[in-house]
Amino acid sequence: MKSLRAIALILIILLCGLFIYVAEDIPVFGDPEAPPIKSVKLFTMEVDQVVSLLDQHIVPEKLSGELVKRGFPPPSHIEKIPGIDGEWNAFIEKEEPHYAKEEKYYWIRKEGDKLRISRYAFVVRWIEKGLKETAVPNMVTYGLADYRGYDTLGETTVIFTAGVSVILLLRRRSRL
Amino acid sequence: MKEERRERNVVVETVARVMIPFVQLFALYVIIHGAGGPGGGFQGGVVFASAFILHVIAFNLIGGRARFPESVNTVFSSLGLYVYGGIGLLATIFSLGAAQYLNYGFIPFTSHFEENRALGMDFVEMGIGITVMAITASIFFDLAKKDGNGKEEEEEGSRSWNGSSQKSWQNTTTGSSSSS
């Protein structure tokens, strides 16, 4: 009985230490500069004549080729949307899935002598790169257990706490 | 009244005896299948706990408690959380502190980074399933008990048709409760 209590105390201390470590290790919430929040860089390419074509609102062959080579859908036309970052925005003509506003565009920006092609991060990560990154075909599962692993650990802790509370309230055995 | 209960009990008992292994097998399938299709730890754990609930409804509370004692239940309810936390900590240990906590890719199950992530997810789902199963069963057993003074009885289980077996169950339950 005594040794059981000592083991339980050690395990509780270990669990508390683990949770303190986890709380220290969680990424900063709400950081606007955090890469997964704002946009994800797909690739960079040489400028060449691409810029002049982009200014004339023509989709360059080279840009479409680079995108298709990496498994992304090619854009249909070039425009500039005021609310979205980037000098040019390339519209993605894709029926499924029905993206909202920002996810429909590639964001093209000139950085020195390179063109930086980026995209709204969250949907690209989740829908189009999840299978490649985790080798799990179920979108819900890799979201639940991998991308949102901290969240699920908290959920399991909530269930554990509920069970412990019921034990403390109902299993008194004429003590207390 | 007593005759009716006996008649009902035979049918329910027989059906439960046939159903319970399949319910448990389906629960394990749901947990294991969580990576490839619908399913996962939460759902599978609840389905597994429903097998215990079916056993209690068909037979009685004390027999169900004897199958899944209080001490084992308490150990399982925290074991799943330790599996989850341990898998997360393994990632940090194997990458020598370079990777973040819960970054399963660095645990060397296989040689591929992506496969490691999938396997880490599977083990995490198993941990979730163990905790959810044990906690759901624990809450059910605690709520079904009538009084907490060690004398475990149920409104139907107390009027058992077999007095001697009930006595032996009480002995086992009091033994297990004093040890926990």
Return the HEC string of B41-107: HHHHHHHHHHHHHHHHHHCCHHHHHHHCCHHHHHHHHHHHHHHHHHHHHHHHHHCCCCCCCCCHHHC
Q: Report which residue type is found at B22.
A: F
- Structure confidence by residue, pLDDT tens digits, B71-117: 999 999 989 999 998 898 888 888 887 777 888 888 888 988 888 98
CB contact under 8 A, A156 and B78: no
What is this model's ipTM?
0.74
Give residue A95's pLDDT. Answer: 56
Chain A residues contacting B via beta carbons under 8 Å: 11, 15, 18, 21-22, 25, 27, 132-138, 140-142, 144-146, 149-150, 152-153, 156-157, 159-160, 162-164, 166-167, 170-174
With 50 as the cut, is the pLDDT of residue B160 above it? no
Sign of the torsion formed by the C-alpha atoms of B125, B127, B130 and B134: negative
Phi and psi, residue A105, nearest 5°: -125, 145
Give residue A104's pLDDT. Answer: 75
**Nearest CB neighbour to B135, from listed A11, A133, A162:** A162
Give this prediction's pTM.
0.70
Give residue B153's pLDDT. Answer: 46
Query: What are the angstrom distances between the C-alpha of B10 and each of B7, B64, B113?
Result: 6, 17, 54
Ordered by start, the domain boundaries in chain B are: 2-168
Give residue A113's pLDDT. Answer: 79
Residues of A in contact with B35 (CB under 8 A): 136-138, 141
pLDDT band of B146, cuts 50, 70, 90 = low
Give residue B150's pLDDT. Answer: 46
- Structure confidence by residue, pLDDT tens digits, A61-88: 888 888 888 777 778 878 777 767 777 7
User: Quick one: angle between helices B70-94 and A149-170, nearest 10?
Assistant: 160
Give residue A28's pLDDT. Answer: 67
Show the tokens assigned to B127: 């941990």
Low-confidence stretches of chain A (pLDDT < 70) are 27-38, 83, 94-102, 121, 124, 173-176
Give residue B18's pLDDT. Answer: 94
pLDDT band of B176, cuts 50, 70, 90 = very low
Q: Report which residue type is found at B64.
A: G
Helices and strands (DSSP H and E) totals, chain A: 7, 5
| Whether B177 contacts chain A with CB within 8 A | yes
With 60 as the cut, is the pLDDT of residue B151 above it? no
- Taking the C-alpha atoms of residue A38 and residue A126, their distance in angstroms, rounded to an integer, is 14
